[in-house]
Amino acid sequence: MNEQFRPVNSSSGFDMIGDAETIKTHTQNVSINKSGYLYVYCSNESDQDVFFDNLQVIYTRGPLLSESHYSPWGLDLKGICSQAAGKLENRFKYSGKEQQCNEFSDGSGLEWYDYGARMYDGQIGRWMRIDNKAELYKNISPYAYAANQPTNAIDPDGNLIIFINGQNLSSGGTSAYWQSANGQNFDVAVQKHFNDFAPPRYYDGSSGGWGNTLQNSYNPLSSIFIYDNTLAQERQDAGHSQGMNDARSILISLHRTGGVIDESLKIVTHSMGGAYAKGFVKAIVEYAKAHPEISNGLKISEFDFDPFQAGSLEVEPKVHTEQYTHNGKKHIPWWKFWDTDKIADEKQKGLESNNPNGDNNKYREDPTKTTHDISTFYDDIQNLKEGTYKLINGKWVKQ
More confident residue, 98 or 218: 98
DSSP 65-117: -EE--B-TT--B-GGG-EE-TTSPPP-B-GGGPEEE-S-STTS----EEE-SS
What one-letter code names the amino acid at 47?
Answer: D
Between CA 382 and CA 360 the distance in angstroms is 17
Q: Give the residue-averaged pLDDT of 46-72.
A: 81
- Give the model confidence (pLDDT) of 82-97 as tens digits: 877 777 778 888 877 8
H helix or E strand, kind and range, residue 225: strand 224-225
Helix (H, G, I), strand (E, B) or coil at 395: strand
Residue 116: what pLDDT?
A: 75
Residue 215: what pLDDT?
A: 61
Fold classified for 156-398 = Rossmann fold (3.40.50)
Asked if residue 51 has pLDDT above 60, the reply is yes
pLDDT band at 223 (very low <50, low <70, confident <90, very high): very low
Contacts 24+ apart (CB under 8 A), 3-12: 3/34, 3/35, 3/36, 3/37, 3/82, 5/37, 8/34, 8/36, 12/38
Residue 154: what pLDDT?
A: 63
Burial per residue of 251-289, b for 16 or more beta-carbon CB atoms within 10 angstroms, e otherwise = bebbbeeeeebebbbbbbbbbbbbbbbbbbbbbbbebbe
Average pLDDT taken over every residue of the chain? 82
Residue 227: what pLDDT?
A: 46
Residue 268: what pLDDT?
A: 97
Residue 359: what pLDDT?
A: 63
Asked if residue 119 has pLDDT above 60, the reply is yes
- Of 98-102, 339-343, 387-391, the range with the lowest mean pLDDT is 339-343
Residue 214: what pLDDT?
A: 67
**What is residue 123's DSSP assignment?**
T
Please state the domain extents for the chain.
1-60, 67-148, 156-398
Between CA 196 and CA 213 the distance in angstroms is 34
- Of 46-50, 104-108, 225-229, 383-387, the range with the lowest mean pLDDT is 225-229
Asked if residue 11 has pLDDT above 60, the reply is no
Q: Give the residue-averaged pLDDT of 362-383.
A: 89
Q: How crowded is the C-beta side of 185, counted as CA atoms within 13 Å?
A: 11
- Give the model confidence (pLDDT) of 184-203 as tens digits: 899 999 988 988 777 789 99
**In Å, how far are 79, 122, 143, 270 from 164, measured between CA atoms?**
45, 34, 28, 7
Asked if residue 139 has pLDDT above 80, the reply is no
Residue 25: what pLDDT?
A: 78
More confident residue, 166 or 66: 166
Residue 353: what pLDDT?
A: 52
For the chain, what percent of residues have pLDDT higher than 90? 29
- Give the model confidence (pLDDT) of 241-276 as tens digits: 999 999 988 888 787 777 788 888 999 999 999 999
Do 42 and 60 meet the contact criterion of CB atoms below 8 Å apart?
no
Asked if residue 142 has pLDDT above 90, the reply is no
Asked if residue 287 has pLDDT above 80, the reply is yes
Asked if residue 224 has pLDDT above 50, the reply is no
Residue 265: what pLDDT?
A: 93
pLDDT band at 338 (very low <50, low <70, confident <90, very high): very low
pLDDT winner (highest mean) among 125-134, 194-203, 235-244: 235-244
Residue 89: what pLDDT?
A: 78
Strands 264-270 and 161-165, bridge-based pairing: parallel
Asked if residue 108 has pLDDT above 90, the reply is no
Residue 158: what pLDDT?
A: 43
More confident residue, 353 or 54: 54
